Structure 1
Amino acid sequence: MAGLSVPALSRAWPALRAATVLLLLSGSAEAADVSPGPLTIAEQGSFFVGGRDVQSDTLSTLPAYAPSGTISVDQIYVHYQLPVGAHRPPLVLIHGCCLTGKTWETTPDGRMGWDEFFVRRGFPTYVIDQAWRGRSAASPAQIDAVKMGRAEPDALPPVFSAGREPAWAIFRFGPEYPKAFPGMQFPLEAQSEFWKQMVPDWSAALPVPNPTVPVLSELAKRLKGAVLVSHSQSGIYPFQTAALDRTGIRAIVAIEPAACPDPAKDDLAPFKDLPILVLFGDYVEASPRWAPRLKQCRGFVAAANAAGGRAELILLPEIGIHGNSHMLMQDKNSLDIADWLSGWIEKRVSGRS
């Protein structure tokens, strides 16, 4: 940098950093616009992991169905696709609040989702539905107990749904409904399809950590090593899983996590030498909800690295990728981000040059 004064170098640093990060972490030789031609896979299917049996006398209030019986809860549904000649680590894709594994599938406007993209890139891909969500069964026992007069109304579980108006700002489509941020990449012309993805959320009725956490550990072991990719509400789950047992966890990718571990309270030893990426999109500092979370995750990354970690926090605008909402895996430039992430995994996990 001969000839640059210290102030000039300081002003140039953001651009230099962006160029350097893109150079080091860009994807492999394949282009981001993966061919939409026929998808050849070695295997696909689905299964459940975990779960426990629960006996209840309040399973039904309908005459045609007996109220007493045994059901299974706390399991997670897993849909997988294995590429031919898989040569990259398995990815476990974990959705966030009020959503299901659909998060990672075809985008609301019909483009390729991350589940297909990463399979095309040679990653075995496993998409889950969190416990008590989507195809992972919930229990009606508490609700029916109240309806049958066997429990007080305050025993009802705190199940909630996110309305599209407040969710608009949460997902950072804009500062408030229905205003959009300038240059925002989410396909608002297809927003009606996105709102159909929203489902009731049972997480507030479940223990902490969420039952999904120990099952993720079981799944990672079953896969003999996997990268856990979380989003939003589930952002903390891979960290909690690693704290429980690091076996089988090859890396953590936390996409816009609602929380990172707290260095003042949490043991950072489980994260030593573990590749960790915390990734945020755009407009974060403009969001009263997300700006404090970004600050908290920055503190975690700094503390984890001081304790021997390999953690990184990346804001997409700082590496030249702009306009991303909270649902960046569905934004119009989603495959550019997936391409970048593929490169990060290659460098940090696979160790390939």
Structure 2
Amino acid sequence: MLLSQILARSTSILGHVYEAAVGGDINPTRDFFYVGGHYENFTYMIGQIYVERLTPPKVTEPYPIVFIAGSGQTGTNFLKTPDSRPGWSSHFLSAGYVVYLTDQPSRGRSPWYPGIGSVAAFDTHKVETLFTAPEDYGLWPQAHLHTQWPGTGHPGDPVFDSFYATQVQLQANELISEETNARAYSALLDRIGPAYLITRSQAGAYGWRIGDARPHLVKDIVALEPSGPPFENAFPFKGRQRTWGITALEISYEPSAGPNATALHTVTVAAKDEEHTSCILQAEPAKRLKNLSRVNVLVVTAEASFHQPYDYCTVLYLRQAGVKVEFLDLGEVGVRGNGHMMFMELNGEEIAGRVGVWLKKQRV
């Protein structure tokens, strides 16, 4: 076989594999680029992100969607599920959206410059206890309700192994991570124009910072279980703190929150019931999130996730600070059994549909 024939055949095979990943009947146009970053001593570029643009044959929605993955994950996790069903990118491509899949700075296909910050990764035990099989460990009150993971959720199960193979290193320094993400994704919006953000977990804080920096370009934010609760973490990431309420680094308040948020006064509100945590909110009169309050927000929380005890605190905090936020508590609307990886679980398509309905409603 001639080399040209081999290359043509390989390209055809790769094309079919890619179409299967995003949904073969969609056949989007695929492109990629890098954006953001800056030179360090004119020797190395750091902070840039890999961006993959998927365009459906017929674009019917006025604004694209930018996906920002959570800890240890990349844009690939929105292409398909670990058991090979079409992922959320397929759902929104089918609905006529241009989709941007991204890798955070120093993550996946976005280069890592050695010596800046430190590296971390999730081991299999953390993944199964928090994400894929929490019902077998019962580390929070709602964990036993988890039913939607497509497999046993333990190492050795093909679906778990497929999922765990996608997990990559992440920047362990939260301050570096938040700052580099806010810069890179602001640069992305400067390049592509107005867009919806869908943030997940760790990326929740980055979405708030991007909305603060580019409120005229962030049309809406869908926060899938955003990093929280306000000010200080609850289980399982205790010890981390968000000095500025919903972010570790500065975000704009009116009146000013002062240097290092020293004028941001707080009060603890009792838990709404025994299965939820207490909330740290602002003392009244509350300061307003000056720029973020210009952006509509949807917070989505799963019934069985470790976020279930405290995501309502994030919603209360945002509302108190003047943000137009809706709370989609999946269990409360009859979407049962989901954990933190809701977007790749068995009923993930239904959840994507509810997100799509909300996005359309914002344009009415």
Mapped to 2, the partners of 1:177 and 1:75 lie a distance apart of 39
- Counterpart CA distance in 2 for 1:36 and 1:54 is 40
Aligned to 2:236: none
Partner residue of 1:124 out of 66, 74, 98: 98
The structure 2 residue matched to 1:54, chosen from 37, 40, 43, is 40
Q: Residue 184 of structure 2 corresponds to which residue in structure 1?
A: 215
Ranges in structure 2 where 5+ consecutive residues have no aligned partner: 1-21, 153-158, 231-244, 247-280
Q: 1:167 and 2:127 equivalent?
A: yes
Alpha-carbon contact 1:168-1:177 (below 8 Å) kept: no
Match 1:83 to one of 53, 56, 64: 56
Other-structure match for 1:330: 344
Alignment partner, residue 112 of structure 1: 86
285, 297, 302: which one aligns with 2:319: 302
Task: Verify: 1:275 aligned to 2:296, yes or no.
Answer: yes
Aligned residue in 2 for 1:15: none
Does residue 1:93 correspond to 2:30, yes or no? no
The superposition leaves residues 249-271 of structure 1 with CA deviations (integer Å, 9 ceiling, x where unpaired) of 10011101112654639751213
Query: Given the two structures, how large is their TM-score scaled by the length of structure 2?
Result: 0.71
Deviation at residue 210 of structure 1 after TM alignment:
3.0
State the distance in 1 between where 2:358 and 2:31 align.
27
Q: Which amino acid aligns with 2:127?
A: A
Match of 1:199 in 2: 168
Deviation at 1:133, TM superposition (A): 0.3
Q: Check the 8 A contact 2:135/2:146 in 1, yes or no.
A: no
TM-score by length of 1: 0.73
Distance 2:347 2:288 in 1: 36
> In the TM superposition, what whole-angstrom CA distance separates every residue of 1:204-243 from its partner, at most 9, and x where no partner exists?
2752633011221222232221001100000111111122
Q: Give the counterpart of 2:147 among 176, 184, 192.
A: 184
Q: CA deviation at 1:318?
A: 1.1
Q: Is the 8 A contact 1:133 1:201 kept in 2?
A: yes
Residues 190-215 of structure 1, C-alpha deviations (whole Å, 9 max, x = no match) = 11111111111114275263301122
Paired residues of 1:220 and 1:226 also in contact (CA < 8 A) = yes
SS of equivalent to 1:339: helix
Q: Contact (CA 8 Å) 1:158, 1:202: kept in 2 or not?
A: yes
Shift of 1:281: 0.7
Matches of 1:266 and 1:71 in 2, distance apart? 40
Q: Residue 141 and residue 183 in structure 1: after superposition, are their counterparts in 2 closer, same or farther (change >3 A)?
A: closer
Amino acid at match of 1:52: H
Deviation for aligned residue 1:339: 1.1
**Distance (Å, rounded) in 2 between the aligned partners of 1:201 and 1:273:** 31
Could you list the per-position Cα deviations for residues 274-328 of structure 1 after superposition, in whole angstroms to 9, with x for gaps in the alignment? 21001001124xx4xx355314213223314xx3x32111111111111111011
- Per the alignment, in what secondary structure is the counterpart of residue 99 of structure 1? coil
Measured after TM superposition, the shift of residue 70 of structure 1 is 2.5
Structure-2 change in CA distance of 1:214 and 1:321 (3 Å): same
Number of equivalences: 281
Equivalent residue, structure 2, for 1:14:
none
**Bigger relative contact order, structure 1 or 2 (CA pairs below 8 A, ≥6 apart):** 1
Partner of 1:148: none
Do the aligned partners of 1:203 and 1:210 also contact (CA within 8 Å) in 2? no
CA contact (8 A) 2:82 2:344 kept: yes
Structure 1: state its 5+ residue gaps. 1-34, 56-68, 143-156
